[in-house]
Amino acid sequence: MSSFLRPVIEGQDQRTSASHYRPVSSHLAIAPPVSVVIPAMNEAENLPYVFKTLPAWIHEVILVDGNSTDDTVRVARDLWPGIKVVKQRGRGKGDALISGFAACTGEIIVMVDADGSADGHEIVSYVSALVSGADFAKGSRFANGGGTDDMTPVRKLGNRVLCAVVNAKFGARYTDLCYGYNAFWRHCLDKIDLDCTGFEVETLMNIRVVKAGLRVQEIPSHEYVRIHGMSNLSAVRDGLRVLRVILKEQGKRRTGRRRPPVFAPGAGRGEVS
Ligand SMILES: Nc1nc2c(ncn2[C@@H]2O[C@H](COP(=O)(O)OP(=O)(O)OP(=O)(O)O)[C@@H](O)[C@H]2O)c(=O)[nH]1
Ligand SMILES: [Mg+2]
């Protein structure tokens, strides 16, 4: 069994018997602190639903605000006292996530959308996979046990085709590609060295983890419909961006043996408050 996890023994006080282990379910306690990064642009109305499902054992929540013109930041601070808010300097979801990751102090990082489509109760499945040996826990709506209420047939088709292209070109065995619910050990950031701005970010991560030879485990996940507001994604425009990333990554050498650049926690490009 990995040194990061151990069974919860009934009647034993997890806090005193091994001070850094925290129970995350009825039968599992973990040591590593978990950071949750939430990119949000005008999601004030959805945040109550998002925060309601986040487990109390999370070490920190980082909200990356994309210059929202609604009450996103105030609502987030009310709902999760102590939340770190990163003010995004650039534009796009990829840019937001890169800033958020840089502000994390946890060893495990979980990405959660702010539109109410992700269920925070699933975080324990992602974390369990990571403490059991995976480097990257990749959410999948099409793995057995997953699902989506949110994707149109056109998006499903586009995702499927792009996923097949990634599998063929990079030797992956993914069942889903463009999905925003994922988790990973912070050390992965050194190896994937993210450099993108938009909705292609998840694809870039999925490709680079394979190229870097990291251990990827898919986690069945259910995507609910966005509760309020409009999607920021355009199927054609963002589908083309994803395709461009795939082609660009194919032209680059594998990164597996390359010594990764050092990642400095807290050295974000955004402004933290
Ligand atoms: N900070 C920040 N967040 C963003 C930006 N663009 C999108 N987001 C957030 O990223 C998450 C995913 O964006 P969505 O618009 O829901 O895109 P999607 O989930 O692919 O599309 P739908 O399934 O239609 O909702 C949401 O929490 C958005 O608020 C941005 O430029 N900056
Ligand atoms: Mg969404």
Q: What is the pLDDT of residues 146-193, one digit of tens each?
A: 999 989 999 999 999 999 999 999 999 999 999 999 999 999 999 999
CA-to-CA distance for 138 and 181, rounded, in angstroms?
A: 7
pLDDT attached to residue 159: 97
169 falls within a domain: yes
Confidence check: pLDDT of 94 > 70: yes
pLDDT-derived band of residue 252, with 50, 70 and 90 as boundaries? confident
Q: Which ligand is nearest to the CA of 150?
A: 1
From residue 117, how far is each of 89, 132, 198, 222, 223 by CA, in Å?
25, 26, 19, 8, 5
Q: Which residue has the tokens 């995004």?
A: 88
Kindly report the number of other CB atoms within 10 A of residue 58's CB atom. 20
3 falls within a domain: no
76 falls within a domain: yes
Which atom of ligand 1 is found nearest the CA of 223?
Answer: 23
Q: Give the amino acid at 65.
A: D
pLDDT digits (tens, 9 = 90+) for 48-59: 999 999 999 999
Give the residue from 127, 120, 113 showing the smallest Cα distance to 178.
113
Chain mean position to CA 114: 12
91 falls within a domain: yes
20 falls within a domain: no
195 falls within a domain: yes
Domain count along the chain: 1
CATH number at residue 57: 3.90.550.10
Round the CA-based radius of gyration of the chain to a whole number and report it: 18
Q: Whose CA is nearest to atom 7 of ligand 1?
A: 93
245 falls within a domain: yes
Q: Whose CA is nearest to atom 19 of ligand 1?
A: 231
Which atom of ligand 1 is found nearest the CA of 113?
Answer: 27
pLDDT digits (tens, 9 = 90+) for 6-43: 555 555 544 444 458 999 999 999 999 999 999 999 99
Report the half-sphere exposure of 254 (CA within 13 A, side-chain side). 10
Angle at 217 between CA 211 and CA 223, to 5 degrees: 110
pLDDT attached to residue 166: 98
Kindly report the number of other CB atoms within 10 A of residue 204's CB atom. 22
- Both structure tokens of 197: 């701005």
pLDDT attached to residue 16: 43
21 falls within a domain: no
Non-local (6+) Cβ contacts of 140 within 8 A are 146, 174, 175, 176, 179, 218, 219, 220, 221
CA-to-CA distance for 43 and 36, rounded, in angstroms?
A: 16
- Range(s) of the domain holding residue 258: 32-272
pLDDT attached to residue 255: 53
